[in-house]
Amino acid sequence: MDDYERLIEIYKKSAILESVSEVLEWDQEVMMPEGALPVRTQQSATIAALGHDILTSDEMNGLLVSIEREELNSDQAANVREIERNYKRHKNVPNGLVRELQETRIRGVESWKEARKKNDFGLFLPYLRKVFALSGKVADCIDPDRHPYEVLLESYEQDISREEIKSHLTTIKEHLIPLIGRIKEQKIDDSLIAQDVAIEKQKEFNSFIARAIGYDFTRGRLDVSAHPFTSCYGRITTRYDNGWWSAISGTIHEAGHAMYEHHLPLQHFGTPLGQYCSMSVHESQSRIWENNIGKSKHFWEKFFPKLQDSYDLDVELDDFYKIINRVEPSFIRTEADELTYNLHIILRFEIELGLIEGKTDFDDLPRIWNEKFREYLGIVPPDDSFGVLQDIHWAWGNIGYFPTYTLGSMIAAQLFEAAQKDIPDLIDNIGQGKFEELRSWLNDNIWCHGKKYLTKELIRRATGKDPSPDDYLEYLENKYAGIYEL
């Protein structure tokens, strides 16, 4: 066995342990009884520590030094590049810190669930403080000379910097605020969304719509959780406590994530070539299906009759299309329209940046959250469950994740524009419920490459240009000018 083969053999052990940890986290969110938390905490912490030991072993270091890189092909070189990056990010992080952070995450998630249910931010506050403190320590261990947020961000997006993100978000905000201002006086009656629909009917339709766009139920499953997510090689969840449209939209979103994971090269499982490129790219796959396709009129020309019959909806397609694309500030990010959604992300990005820099006081977080909500969205959450306790991300320690949602929306529009050029009949195909060509295009341009390319090169190869807000802003302007007759 040569040095490269041995490197892959060792790395796969660490990567597969991480995938096992995903299964435990999925179980915690979907099936685990409350009384199993103490055991789950130890299980997850032990697996995280074992994976860390393997990844940062002396043998791993020796192999990275000894490998003859000039003899590697492009796939092998990409694997070594990513393995070395992971090794360098983790080598100076003490095993005890890895275990402590994982234990805090597991307990923090359960604390967040209880706090959200009881509308009591104080229950979650100690865990929130500790997650950020430990994450800051991890960032300092990785690189004490760089901004801690930049270091944490690279867990989700290593190719688009904090300053680039700030620039993209600023450009998007500067264009969207005037557009929202032109719309806000126009009201669309969305009372249809509040109509009660039996949960069993919803589950049946959501399974149908996921399967219709290409979700493979032989590789994954659709369950219920407090916050929709995708994990474990494409298992997905949705929730049914925020209205039937939210459940549909969330299901399509997560199915987009899952199709990406289902089509990562299985022969490279456990290596970087079998892993997703970045969370920005991962989010682009969910957003392209949720928004560019799932909120288009063409999509519902095919599926609206079944929805109308299943849910007993007394509304015409044209009105339904306007309802699901209405622009109106809301408290819940996952239910926000395409325009105001980005303001939710900007708010969260600014807050977590302030927290990690020590410029924002954790005790003041509910007040700061509400003030920013008033400034950006013109509304104030009625309580913390609709405010600062909205998202699970900070409980999980996903600091730096939020910006990838807007980056994903931006990249999704760019990919959809490129796909339209390469597939002349794409819009007609969507109107007929035919998605084979689009899935094939996404596979050839995104899914099959794993981590072979970084985000910018991957998107440049697919679209001919670097990730940029241009196509996204044009898409939003054209779509909402049509809906609101601007």
CA distance 351 to 356: 9
Query: Does 168 lie in the same domain as 141?
Result: no
Query: Does 408 lie in the same domain as 331?
Result: yes
392, 226 contact by CB (below 8 A): yes
Model confidence band, residue 1 (pLDDT cutoffs 50, 70, 90)? low
**157 found inside a domain:** no
State residue 210's pLDDT score: 98
Which pairing describes strands 222-224 and 235-238: parallel, antiparallel, or unpaired? parallel
Closest C-alpha among 232, 258, 280 to residue 468: 280
168 pLDDT higher than 90: yes
**CATH code at 208?**
1.10.1370.30
Query: Does 85 lie in the same domain as 197?
Result: no
CB neighbours of 36 closer than 8 A, spacing ≥ 6? none
395 pLDDT higher than 70: yes
354 pLDDT higher than 70: yes
434 pLDDT higher than 80: yes
Query: Does 113 lie in the same domain as 182?
Result: no
**339 found inside a domain:** yes
Q: Which of 116, 145, 174 is the last residue of a domain?
A: 145
State residue 46's pLDDT score: 95
**Mean pLDDT value across the chain:** 96
Query: Does 216 lie in the same domain as 99?
Result: no
Number of domains in the chain: 2
**462 found inside a domain:** yes
Phi and psi at 480, nearest 5°, equal: -80, -20
Query: Does 125 lie in the same domain as 170?
Result: no
Query: Does 447 lie in the same domain as 327?
Result: yes
Q: Which of 25, 84, 103, 254 is catalytic?
A: 254
**Per-residue pLDDT tens over the stretch 396-410:** 999 999 999 999 999
Model confidence band, residue 185 (pLDDT cutoffs 50, 70, 90)? confident
Query: Does 203 lie in the same domain as 122?
Result: no
**Per-residue pLDDT tens over the stretch 56-74:** 999 999 999 999 898 999 9
Closest C-alpha among 252, 258, 250 to residue 276: 258
Model confidence band, residue 21 (pLDDT cutoffs 50, 70, 90)? very high
**Per-residue pLDDT tens over the stretch 200-259:** 999 999 999 999 999 999 999 999 998 899 999 999 999 998 899 999 999 999 999 999
CA distance 480 to 71: 53
User: Percent of the chain having pLDDT more than 90?
Assistant: 95
Mean pLDDT of 85-93: 96
CA distance 57 to 54: 5
**Which structural domain, as residue segments, surrounds residue 353?**
162-483
Reply yes or no on whether 350 is catalytic.
no
Query: Does 428 lie in the same domain as 345?
Result: yes
Query: Does 97 lie in the same domain as 13?
Result: yes
**236 found inside a domain:** yes
Task: List the end-to-end C-alpha distance of the chain, in Å, as a whole number.
Answer: 66
Query: Does 378 lie in the same domain as 413?
Result: yes
Of the CA atoms within 13 Å of residue 56, those in its CB half-sphere come to 16
CA distance 207 to 72: 44
**151 found inside a domain:** no
Q: Which of 91, 114, 145 is the last residue of a domain?
A: 145
Phi and psi at 276, nearest 5°, equal: -65, 155
Q: Which of 145, 176, 206 is the last residue of a domain?
A: 145
Provide Rg for the chain, Cα atoms.
Answer: 22
pTM of the entire predicted model:
0.94
Buried b or exposed e, range 193-230, using 16+ CB within 10 angstroms: eeeebeeeebbebbeebbebbbbeeeebbbbebbbbbb
7 pLDDT higher than 90: yes
Query: Does 175 lie in the same domain as 138?
Result: no
**154 found inside a domain:** no
